Amino acid sequence: MKSDYPNRISLQRFSIPIMTDELKPKRPKGIYLLPNLLTTAALFSGFYAIVAAINDRFEAAAIAIFISMLLDGMDGRVARLTNTQSEFGAEYDSLADLISFGLAPALLMYEWSLSSLVQVSSFFGKLGWLAAFVYTAAAALRLARFNTQVGKADKSFFQGLASPAAAAVIASFVWLSVDHQIDGASLVVPAWFMTVLAGFLMVSKFDYHSFKDLDLKEIPFVTALVVVMVFVLVSIDPPKVLFLFFLLYAISGPLSSLIKLRKSRISPPIKDDKE
């Protein structure tokens, strides 16, 4: 029987494929190897620092924390250069940072110096491990706040001292003291204040330059010369140079805030043109 509508187009013959979820290209569910491998290496360095500190190998523990810092700085840049960023990598990196820059420096400082407060009294012994806990908790809060501000805050500045920089202050202080054969018990008071202060700086609202706006692909000749001079200075006396550098960086946040506050008080108020 012939159709009453000969000009009707059959949908079966001229069907248009509809893009469904099954036909859409799916992103691979696996994890990217290279950046997460660097994160794992950084985590291993932080774990090794904990083991070394427990076994009274304080210099090796401090060096392991700095190695973890280098690896932590590489994994993010490698992920961006190879376009392999992922939510898994970001969360994994934060957990690794908590071990390497939160727990490892606190345990290193406690085993090297703060544990000697137990010899004074049980009360002072509690103050020792509480200072280490304050630092660890502050590092966890700092990392949690940083994760919530990704994509919102200015990338040129950190709000609060970054946990790797705080860990560098602690590790370089221990490394410098061990290098000069200074016992941790004799420096327990400055060690206690430094641990607590580093923790509070991490959760503070002071602005610290992040150096993320530097273009590493093309830098001026003067900048390259400065980088070379920094490597030369570090190679002369690593613990001393690193401690001075990161201590000045930690102080730069409160200092810049005080300078801005003073300028705002000195500068006269802007008058309205209509008056």
pLDDT at 10: 47
Residues 29, 30, 31, 32, Cα dihedral to 10° = -110
Domain that holds residue 98: 33-260
Domain for residue 271, yes or no?
no
Contact 148, 42 (CB under 8 A): no
As to burial, measured by CB atoms within 10 angstroms (0-12 exposed, 13-18 middle, 19+ buried), residue 257 is middle
End-to-end CA distance of the chain: 92
Helices (H), the chain: 33-54, 58-81, 87-97, 104-112, 122-148, 163-179, 188-202, 221-236, 238-266
pLDDT at 58: 97
| Domain CATH number, residue 232 | 1.20.120.1760
pTM of the model: 0.81
Domain for residue 22, yes or no?
no
- Reduced to 3 states (helix: H, G, I; strand: E, B; else coil), residue 158 is strand
Q: How far is CA 152 from CA 81, 158, 206, in A?
A: 22, 12, 17
Domain for residue 71, yes or no?
yes
- Reduced to 3 states (helix: H, G, I; strand: E, B; else coil), residue 207 is strand
Domain for residue 66, yes or no?
yes
Domain for residue 14, yes or no?
no
Mean pLDDT, consecutive 10-residue stretches, the chain (275 aa), reads 49 47 48 82 96 96 96 83 81 93 97 94 93 96 87 74 95 96 94 96 90 62 75 87 94 89 71 51
Residue 219 is encoded by which pair of tokens? 């830098």
**Total domain count, the chain:** 1
Supply the DSSP symbol for 209.
Answer: E
Domain for residue 222, yes or no?
yes
